Amino acid sequence: MNFETFNFHPSIMAGVRALGYSIPTPIQSQGIPPIMQGRDVIGLAQTGTGKTAAFALPILQRLQSDSRGHIRALVISPTRELAEQISEVFNDLGSRSGLRSVTIYGGVSMDQQIRNLRAHPEIVVACPGRLLDHLWKGTISLAELEVLVIDEADRMLDMGFLPDIRNILGCILHKHQTLLFSATMPDDIRRLAREILHDPVTVQIGRTLPAKTVSHFLYPVQQHLKTNLLKAILNKTETDSVLVFTRTKHRAERVAQQLVRDGYRVTSLQGNLSQNQRQAALTGFRNGSIKILVATDIAARGIDVLSISHVINYDMPESTDDYIHRIGRTGRVDKNGDALTFVTNDDADKIRALEQLLNAPLERLTLKGFDYNKPAPEREPRFSQQPRRRFVQRQVIGRQMAM
Ligand code: AMP
């Protein structure tokens, strides 16, 4: 199958070609036809599968005809970065269509957004909180909305946005098409889907498993040696762009500072940054001037950088869903990527859950020449006050499968 099959308008095909897409990804080949028929669709696909274009292309096709100058498509996204990226996809694919899109999210001036809305865009990509502010202020009207997309619905749930989503849905009472995308289907999302979608078509790309182009490795290590191990791996490994995940904002900041001190081109992406700082970090990472980004789960949501070669989980993710989301940043469409996860003795249950999901034991690696027995510094209260457990380390040279 190729993109000609969909009979898109020439202006949209120009966008497809400009982005260099030649073959539709599975979510595109299966999702685009029912969306073009006007059906409600549940898209079960993780980040990196091409799901944004899977909804953006048929929406652009629909908006190409009929009236202009009012909001006809709304995409709700959990984070500002993802909103910007979705908007970019609409702008790139629709650059010749004359259709306009604006982004709406918190943390930036409301007045500028009101001015943007007065230019009468056809497409709005919004985060739930600020969108509600505009709806309640009367500065946005969804009276003529035709298509609603709820993207990364499971993440919206995790971030506590479900009540906001329900309030937004309460403002769109007329008939419209609804598309709901989610990497996983927790009960609350299944319930929401049952309530708001009419006779939906479900398009599921595999199970919600990480992309096949990703190799997974575990690095058992004591907590206090993680930064040293990270530096040693970065020194010894040929990498392109590296995304490092930590559990907390504070740790993301600290790890980035430690790497900066060692001369790495690195920055952190975490909730303490202003919108401008976040944008600068992402732009630097995208254009390659920053090689390493240290981020928390929420801050990294939706990062779309094609050349991420390695995702390093400095801290084991809380859940298998988070693991899928994190490593969805590497191994994107036909690219290979490595997912390295630092694990401590406390992570045994999480490793088991992950191995169950992947249906295979994960490879445990040790880094040759790395001093795994270095004691924790005495003056570091967090570690020195903890009773030390003996760390069982399989000393293997190179790669070896776990028993
Ligand atoms: P997404 O899952 O929407 O975040 O997309 C992941 C990446 O795949 C983005 O960088 C897209 O530009 C890229 N992509 C989407 N569709 C295609 C396609 N048909 N061929 C090649 N790359 C694509």
Using DSSP, state whether 40 is helix, strand or coil: coil
Pocket test for ligand 1, best of 25, 28, 32, 51 (most atoms within 8 A of CB): 25
Q: In sequence order, what E strands does 197-316 have?
A: 201-204, 214-220, 241-245, 266-269, 292-295, 308-313
| Residues 218, 107 within the same domain | no
Number of domains composing the chain: 2
End-to-end CA distance of the chain: 42
**Among 209, 192, 212, which Cα is nearest to 128's?**
192
Residue 374 lies in a domain: no
Integer CA distances (angstroms), 9 to 38, 88, 149, 266, in order: 17, 19, 21, 42
Does ligand 1 lie within 6 Å of residue 325's CB atom? no
Q: Which amino acid is at 273?
A: L
Residue 396 lies in a domain: no
Does ligand 1 lie within 6 Å of residue 134's CB atom? no
| Residues 93, 20 within the same domain | yes
Q: CB–CB of 327/299 below 8 Å? A: no
For residue 41, the enclosing domain spans: 3-204
Domain of residue 356, CATH code? 3.40.50.300
Does ligand 1 lie within 6 Å of residue 330's CB atom? no
**For residue 51, which atom of ligand 1 is closest to its CA?**
3
Would you write out the chain's pLDDT as a tens digit for each of its 403 residues? Answer: 789 999 999 999 999 998 888 888 889 999 999 999 999 999 998 777 789 999 999 999 999 988 888 999 999 999 998 999 999 999 999 999 999 999 999 999 999 999 999 999 999 999 999 999 999 999 999 999 999 999 999 888 888 899 999 999 999 989 999 999 998 888 889 999 999 999 999 998 854 556 667 889 999 999 999 999 999 999 998 888 899 999 998 999 999 999 999 999 999 988 777 778 888 888 898 888 999 999 987 766 656 666 788 999 999 998 877 788 788 767 665 567 889 999 999 999 999 988 887 778 899 999 999 999 999 877 645 544 444 443 333 333 333 333 2
Task: Give the pTM.
Answer: 0.64
Residue 247 lies in a domain: yes
Does ligand 1 lie within 6 Å of residue 51's CB atom? yes
**For the chain, how long is the longest CA-to-CA vector?**
70
